[in-house]
Amino acid sequence: MEIIRIPVLADNYIFLMVDLELKIAAVVDPAEAAPVLAELARQQVELVAIFNTHHHGDHVGGNKELIAAFPDVRVYGGAEDRGRIPGQQVYLVDGDRVQFGDYPGDRLRQRIGEVLFIPGHTRAHIAYYFPPVESDVPGELFCGDTIFAGGCGRLFEGTPAQMVGSMTKLRQLPDNTRIWCAHEYTLGNLKFAITVDPDNRELQQRLVDVTESRRKLIPTVPTLLGIEKRTNPFLRWDVGALQASVASNDAVETFARIRGRKDQF
């Protein structure tokens, strides 16, 4: 499985999973259809699945046009997003599985994704986690707007407690998990992160490195979960330095105060 990152709109990423042997593809959160259709044509593959993480327009805006171009495509989304995702046919809950590709009897060529229910950004948000098929390769996490490189999504429909629960679920994945978050927000996120975690030396260096990468227009997505655990304040609500920074020793309150500061940053 090859993953192609397609930049669209101001700062969105669409992700196209491609199997060149089977000549099929699945798309994650198609904000727009035209760039996806162009890449499908370039790769000469058929779209068989649309994996939506949540209902926001910059994640589902291309659904209808893609369905028109590929009438047999299956559209997946969270069960609690029923009626909010255009063309949705499959209603997923925590623990469900989705499959990309079909190699009967060949375990290493099947990509089975695990569905994680991660409310907070929205009430119905889900993620798709494709575990590694071999020990020396990373798993792939498509997490929409829940966790970003250096940050997390705003709480539009959820609560801090829900988001802490969702982040707890995500940070239990292996450290070498690649995080395919849906926006190029990393530089801004790290500029904020350093204000609440100023003595974190790895964060300091990461900010320097990302500043240089973005100066050269190099994408910062995907990121690795291990890096996020060490430098992303929204995964570190139970770390003493972060709790001291916002004057709280309660995990949810610490998270909420950090998120509140970021909202005003």
- Rounded CA-CA distance 135/104 in Å is 21
Output the six-digit token pair for 81: 């997003």
Q: Which of 19, 56, 96, 125 is catalytic?
A: 56
Q: Which of 19, 29, 96, 145 is catalytic?
A: 145
Q: Which of 19, 29, 55, 59 is catalytic?
A: 59
Q: Which of 29, 96, 125, 183 is catalytic?
A: 183
- Rounded CA-CA distance 97/76 in Å is 11
Q: Which of 29, 121, 125, 197 is catalytic?
A: 121
Is 145 annotated as catalytic?
A: yes
Output the six-digit token pair for 28: 């994650």
Output the six-digit token pair for 143: 């997490």
Is 121 annotated as catalytic?
A: yes
**Helix (H) and strand (E) counts for the chain?**
9, 14
Is 125 annotated as catalytic?
A: no
Q: Which of 19, 54, 81, 96 is catalytic?
A: 54
Cα–Cα nearest to 184, from 146, 221, 233: 221
Output the six-digit token pair for 192: 């904020």
Is 29 annotated as catalytic?
A: no
Q: Which of 58, 81, 96, 197 is catalytic?
A: 58
Output the six-digit token pair for 36: 């996806």
Rg (CA), the chain: 18
Cα–Cα distances in angstroms (integers) from residue 223 to residues 62, 96, 173, 175, in the given order:
25, 25, 14, 11
Per the DSSP assignment, residues forming a β-bridge with 212 are none
Q: Is 120 left (phi over 0), alpha (psi -120 to 50) or beta?
A: left
Task: Reduce the DSSP state of residue 248 to 3 states and report it.
Answer: coil
- Rounded CA-CA distance 199/174 in Å is 26
Instruction: Give catalytic residue positions.
Output: 54, 56, 58-59, 121, 145, 183
